Amino acid sequence: MSNNFRNGQVKIANEILDQLAIRASEEINGVCGQEENDSKLNISQHGPKSTVTHSNGKLLVDLSVNLDKNVNVRKTVKNIQENVVRVIESMTGLSVSRVNVSVDKLVI
């Protein structure tokens, strides 16, 4: 995705936008993130996954997360959505139209 500024144009790879969305979701209490000592198998099972697409000059973020079993799912998902929008918009200057969150499972 590219953004025009007064002094030129900035292009941001989709992979960077995916990483921003994942990090923003992991900042929320109750989201099961990637642990440093996890094996590759565990990381693929627990870490959030993101896909960012462009539509009409705005971003659409699809997140897939696992949550701790002791959290309020509705409140946690709302917090994830708000934080992802805030982080991406403040760090890139791009507008986010939607953040769709899919909760794959509750982790014990």
Measured CA to CA, the distance from residue 51 to residue 84 in angstroms comes to 12
Strand partners, 3: 10
pLDDT at position 38, please? 46
> Whole-model pTM?
0.82
Q: Give the position of tokens 């992979």.
A: 15
> What's the pLDDT tens digit per position in 22-43?
999 999 999 987 554 444 444 4
Q: Phi and psi (nearest 5°) for 64?
A: -125, 120
CATH 3.30.70.1350 for domain 13-107: yes
The CB density around residue 63, as the number of other CB atoms within 10 Å, is 24
> What's the pLDDT tens digit per position in 41-50?
444 456 889 9
